[in-house]
């Protein structure tokens, strides 16, 4: 996919799973925000050269959070460009191989929660390339941009905001497509929606994070998933989501969140009952039984024919 400019200083590279942002004007310094899934490094380098010229490299790589679909190509890019990777300090355990994220919750409701059973939950180890975002809120390498702490979807999730042009890079604190319906996943109609449900571990924090983003009143938004949105629809959509935040009615984290600190995950509530494995097992047993019946039927028929031939 080509690089798509969404504002004069922000371009998007869309991948199959998530969005990647190249932030900065051509001819000037720039940074990369998020890196997609593993295997996207070459595409991102090509996109960077297309926008900024040959032999270009960013000031830094900034991560909204460390989930595999946002950090998967960070290390090969950082090594190729010889640049640092920045994330919130609470993401460090998940980006250094010390901790896994809270388990995904396929019972959180919606189409994507069901599909999440087939998605990996792997993490990456960024080693010495990983640095903590500065405490003051400045975004490294991005003059005029600040990071805002927006946990709930991930313990150290952040969003990036440029006040002068009112541009928000929201990561997965909210997204701009409806992952809760199959039609929303297929159509990808722009709509400000809650964070991806099966990978969100604390819904109180997630709601407060949306409220914070709504208070920023952006006029352009690029999220981790979905199409960019512009104009009054952005502020209205964020305000509506903050006011009527759709929490799961069931699932592992519906009542009690997981907890994490600088060491990683410290507590996880028990999983909600999931009938899918039992259903799949029952379907599998039925298929095996049907296959056995077919085989036995054919064998019995063959034996009958053989006896008739010998009589």
pLDDT at 311 over 60: no
Confidence at 277, pLDDT banded by 50, 70, 90: low
What's the predicted TM-score (pTM) here? 0.88
Summarize the confidence of residues 125-145 as an average pLDDT: 97
pLDDT at 157 over 70: yes
Of the candidates 262, 273, 117, the one whose C-alpha atom is nearest the C-alpha of residue 197 is: 117
Average confidence score pLDDT of the chain: 90
Summarize the confidence of residues 196-214 as an average pLDDT: 98
pLDDT at 147 over 90: yes
- Rounded Cα gap, residues 230 and 221, in angstroms: 7
pLDDT at 2 over 70: yes
Q: Please indicate whether residue 34 or residue 277 has the higher confidence score (pLDDT).
A: 34
pLDDT at 292 over 80: no
What does the pLDDT read at residue 279? 42
Q: What is the 3-state secondary structure (H, E, C) of the chain?
A: CCCEEEECCEEEEECCCCEEEEECCCCCCCEEECCCCCCCHHHHHHHHHHHHCCCCCCCCEECCCCCHHHHCCHHHHHHHHCCCEEECHHHHHHHECCCCCCCCCCCCCCHHHHHHHHCCCCCCECHHHEEECCCCCECCCCCCEEEEECCCCCCCCEEEEECCCCEEEEECCCEECCCCCHHHHHHCCCCCECCCHHHCCCHHHHHHHHHHHHHHCCCEEEECCECCEECHHHHHHHHHHHHCCCCCCCCCCCCCCCEEECCEEEECCCCCCCCHHHHHHHHHHHHHHHHHHHHHHHHHHHHHHHHHHHC
What does the pLDDT read at residue 39? 96
pLDDT at 282 over 50: no
What does the pLDDT read at residue 285? 34
**Structural domain boundaries of the chain?**
4-267, 275-311
What does the pLDDT read at residue 52? 96
Of the candidates 203, 209, 214, the one whose C-alpha atom is nearest the C-alpha of residue 239 is: 214
What does the pLDDT read at residue 299? 46
Summarize the confidence of residues 125-147 as an average pLDDT: 97
Q: Give the relative orientation of helices 203-216 and 232-243 as an angle to the nearest 10 degrees.
A: 150
What does the pLDDT read at residue 122? 86
* Fold of the domain spanning 4-267: Metallo-beta-lactamase; Chain A (3.60.15)
């Amino acid at each position: 996919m080509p690089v798509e400019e969404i504002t004069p200083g922000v371009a998007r590279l869309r991948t199959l799973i998530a969005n990647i942002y190249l932030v900065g004007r051509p001819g000037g310094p720039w940074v990369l925000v998020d890196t997609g899934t593993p295997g996207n490094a070459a595409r991102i380098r090509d996109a960077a050269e297309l926008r900024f010229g040959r032999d270009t490299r960013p000031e830094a790589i900034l991560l909204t959070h460390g989930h595999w679909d946002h950090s998967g190509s960070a290390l090969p890019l950082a090594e190729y460009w010889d640049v640092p990777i920045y994330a919130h300090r609470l993401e460090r355990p998940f980006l250094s191989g010390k901790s896994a994220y809270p388990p995904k919750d396929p019972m959180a409701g919606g189409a994507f929660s069901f599909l999440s059973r087939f998605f990996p939950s792997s993490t990456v180890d960024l080693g010495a390339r990983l640095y903590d975002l500065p405490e003051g809120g400045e975004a490294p390498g991005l003059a005029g941009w600040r990071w805002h702490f927006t946990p709930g979807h991930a313990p150290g999730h952040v969003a990036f905001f440029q006040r002068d042009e009112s541009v928000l890079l929201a990561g997965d604190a909210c997204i701009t497509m409806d992952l809760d319906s199959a039609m929303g996943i297929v159509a990808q109609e722009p709509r400000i929606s809650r964070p991806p449900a099966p990978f969100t571990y604390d819904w109180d924090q997630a709601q407060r994070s949306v409220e914070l983003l709504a208070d920023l009143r952006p006029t352009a938004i690029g999220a981790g998933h979905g199409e960019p949105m512009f104009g009054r629809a952005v502020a209205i959509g964020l305000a509506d989501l903050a006011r009527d935040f759709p929490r799961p009615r069931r699932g592992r984290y519906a009542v009690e969140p997981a907890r994490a600190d600088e060491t990683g995950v410290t507590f996880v509530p028990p999983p909600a009952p999931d009938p899918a494995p039992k259903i799949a097992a029952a379907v599998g047993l039925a298929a095996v039984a049907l296959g056995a019946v077919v085989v036995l039927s054919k064998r019995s028929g063959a034996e009958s024919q053989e006896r008739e031939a010998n009589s």
